[in-house]
Amino acid sequence: MSDSALAPARDLLARGAPQAAREWLQANPPRPGDAAEHAFLLGVCQLQAGQPRLAVAPLEHCLALDPSHINAANALATALHLQGNNARACQVLRLCLEYRPAAGECLLNLGRLLEMDGDHAGAMAAYGRVPAATPALSFPAGLRHATLLSRMGQTEDALALLRTLTPEPADELRTLRQLQGEILLAAGRAPEAEALLAGATDARQQLLWGMALAAQARWEPARTALGEAWERAPGERRHWTNPLTGQAFGPAPLPSPLQCFTGYHRQQVGRGEWAQRQTFARESAAYPLAPTATDWHSAFALFSAPLAPAVRRRLADRWADALLAAMPPATTLPQPRARHDGTLRIAYLSPDFGDHAMGHCLRSFCRHHDRRRCHITLYADSRDDGSEVRRQLRREADAFTEVYGLSDGDLEQRMARDGIQILVDLAGYTRGGRPRLARRPGSPLKVLYQGYPGTLGRGLADYALVDRHVCPPGSEAHWAEALIRLPDSFFLLDSEAPAVPLLEAAELGAPAAPVVFACFNQTWKVDAQAMALWQAVLAAVPEAVLWLHAETPAVAAALTRRAAEAGIGATRLHFSPGTTRPRYLARYRHVHAVLDTPLYHGHGTGADALGMGTPVLSLQGEGFQARVGGSLVRALGLPQLAAESAEAYVATAIRLGRDEAWRQALAADIRRGCATDGPLGTRRRVRQLEQAYARIWQHHRAGLAPASCAVEGGTATEDEEKTA
């Protein structure tokens, strides 16, 4: 069989028929001289069929026969990447490059893999070698290189690199202009992006133009540009990437001007542009356009703006009204299947059942539900990420159902068939949420819990699970939902998490200082108030340093400038980017205390620190999001870590820095409180949740409207406060 004799298999692959191609190859064994190419095509068949695991063996066989086979190396790297093995994929590409140093496609793919793994220097080196190796790939390599420079905050270098490229076809020219616009938008240079893209006729560029207009609160022209762009390319838009988030728009509906505005300004305040916060808050609160069914995507970004709880409630009501008005016509829900065991059928819905902060919090909670009282269904509204967290949740739930891609109507039909009585929404107005789900007659009762720190607005949920600290008496006016106040804290964390590796400070890039304060919150939570508090603490504890999270050197540089303005020298700060969860948790062993951000407390990060026995100090604010830290430590019997004033925050932080014996005593109390049966333990919290669900269902069975109540010591008692 000659190489040309393999043409039928190639033709079948080109026509998208991998199964037929594989059958042809299996029916036509290779001759010795064709064995490598034959094995390569078998591997491609498996890749095209969505079976990367099965593609590995034939592709490895091909490379064993011909180590310089460029296409096989790239295909094998792809198969390994799809299985999460980027390290091995990089090895494959590097080995091929030893035989074929001018293999530009291998260099390009190597750069992409290194970029994904956070090796930015290695990625840029790989991209930089492409033009000399394969001049025909100079343009795509330059685009990737410039994109990475932009993400690293090196905007001018990225734009300068793009100016050196020579696009030839019209498509390349459009792509170049588009990337220039994306880089300017991502850098907070909306006026320049607008000038570059004004009058664009290409749909993607027009979308970016609309986003640039929205970023400047030019609402009407932004709405027009966004709408026209969305209508021009219905088949392409699902593949477009939002330059402000790095996420694909996917099948989502038209982004609203408010959504673009909030995404832009949240990104900028996360880079230290704090002067924009007041404009951000003012323009968002006064948004003049009629609400649309996509405005709710702005909700979480707005927590980076200083809005009063009453304003957040008003905005949420507007979003809820728009969502309900746009709801498709009602369909008849099927009758639930008969149940004879007397258990409550509870479903938890989340897009984060996996390697995500929410997934880690919930990791072991299913095993503690009393199956005599509750039947637990998990509706996983995301693709399987292959994580151990997802596998454990799947094993321990009574039912684990993949619902990603289902419409709201189809999911409501599924819940009805499953006989769900109470739906616990763990997403709310966060990415991947379904806020208007379960609002039809016959739908289960809907309970908002943990994932979103605020109300969904009128008509979208029946209850919210909170506690007396995050929602003190009088806060009912800021919620459309009836409030169920749990004892201790509302927060559910995993008190049975896997052991964290013992790693030395140097291995983790920890600062070498006698006292290490830390805050690993996302940088959009840091503001001028936080910097002022930290300055006062560091001035009083001269041997201390502050360890902060910063995803890129540019963000670290911006925070260093802001710190200098507050009087904090650069030597008092230490920055680290994100890392794997085990290494992130191991960092807390080298932290003496966490100094939380007042604007928005560390919710998952605060719970993580406490789970590692590290004291967390927070200043209590006005809204739910600024009171979670206090909820956690008060549940542990440590109210001194929930400061009610800036003066108390600074004084307590100074004591944490100076009094080692007190820190050790606090750490011991924290570890006891985070044990399985402690005040923050998983078993205890699940029992309280079950009491809340029983109370909710009892109230519903009595024909009563949702009403606020408190769960106390395993029983539910009516709140003395009136329900709003």
The percent of residues in the chain predicted with pLDDT above 70, rounded, is 96
Question: How many of the other CB atoms lie within 10 Å of CB of 138?
Answer: 17
Span 395-416, average pLDDT: 94
Look at residue 3 in the predicted model and tell me its pLDDT.
Answer: 53
Q: Distance between CA atoms of 19 and 179, rounded to whole angstroms?
A: 38
- Is a pLDDT exceeding 80 seen at residue 153? yes
Give residue 240's pLDDT.
79
Q: What pLDDT, in 10s, does the model give residues 327-386?
A: 887 666 666 555 656 799 999 999 999 999 899 988 889 999 999 999 999 999 999 988
Q: Using CA atoms, how far apart are residues 276 and 216, in angstroms rounded to an integer?
A: 11
Contact yes or no for 172/201 (Cβ under 8 A): no
**611: three-class secondary structure by DSSP:** helix
Are the beta carbons of 79 and 55 closer than 8 angstroms?
A: yes
Residue 238 has pLDDT above 80, yes or no: no
488 within 8 A of 396, measured Cβ to Cβ = no
* pLDDT given at position 333: 66
| Among 151-155, 318-322, 400-404, 471-475, the least confident range | 151-155
Residue pair 600/304 in contact (Cβ under 8 Å)? The answer is yes
Mean pLDDT score of the chain, rounded to an integer? 91
Which carries the bigger pLDDT value, residue 552 or residue 601?
601
* Per-residue model confidence (pLDDT) at position 106: 96
Confirm if 543 and 513 have CB atoms less than 8 A apart.
yes
Q: How many Å apart are CA 505 and CA 518, to the nearest integer?
A: 14
Region 594-623: what's the mean pLDDT? 96
How far is C-alpha 203 from the chain's CA centre? Answer: 28
At 340 the pLDDT is 54
- Of 709, 717, 720, give the one whose Cα is nearest residue 462: 709
The string of DSSP letters for 437-482 reads TT-STTPPEEEE-SSSSS---TTS-SEEEEETTTS-TTGGGG-SSE
- pLDDT range class, residue 55, cuts 50, 70, 90: very high
| Lowest-confidence region among 252-256, 341-345, 532-536 | 252-256
Answer for the pair 209, 194: CB distance below 8 angstroms, yes or no.
yes
pLDDT digits (tens, 9 = 90+) for 669-722: 999 999 988 999 999 999 999 999 999 999 999 999 999 999 986 444 444 333
Cα–Cα dist 521/517, whole Å: 13
Closest of 152, 203, 153 to residue 177, by C-alpha: 203
Q: CA nearest 22: which of 4, 48, 1, 2?
A: 48
Q: What is the pLDDT of residues 21-48, one digit of tens each?
A: 999 999 999 887 889 999 999 999 999 9
State the first-to-last Cα distance of the chain, in angstroms, to the nearest integer.
Answer: 81
Report the predicted TM-score, pTM, of the whole model to 2 decimal places: 0.86
Q: Which two tokens stand for residue 153?
A: 């905050």
Q: How confident is the model at residue 715, as a pLDDT?
A: 43
- In this predicted structure, the answer to whether residue 245 has a pLDDT above a threshold of 80 is no
Domains of the chain: 3-184 (1.25.40.10), 209-303+310-325 (no CATH), 344-463+470-481 (3.40.50.11380), 505-673 (3.40.50.2000)
Does pLDDT of 448 surpass 90?
yes
CA distance 316 to 436: 12
| pLDDT for the residue numbered 710 | 94
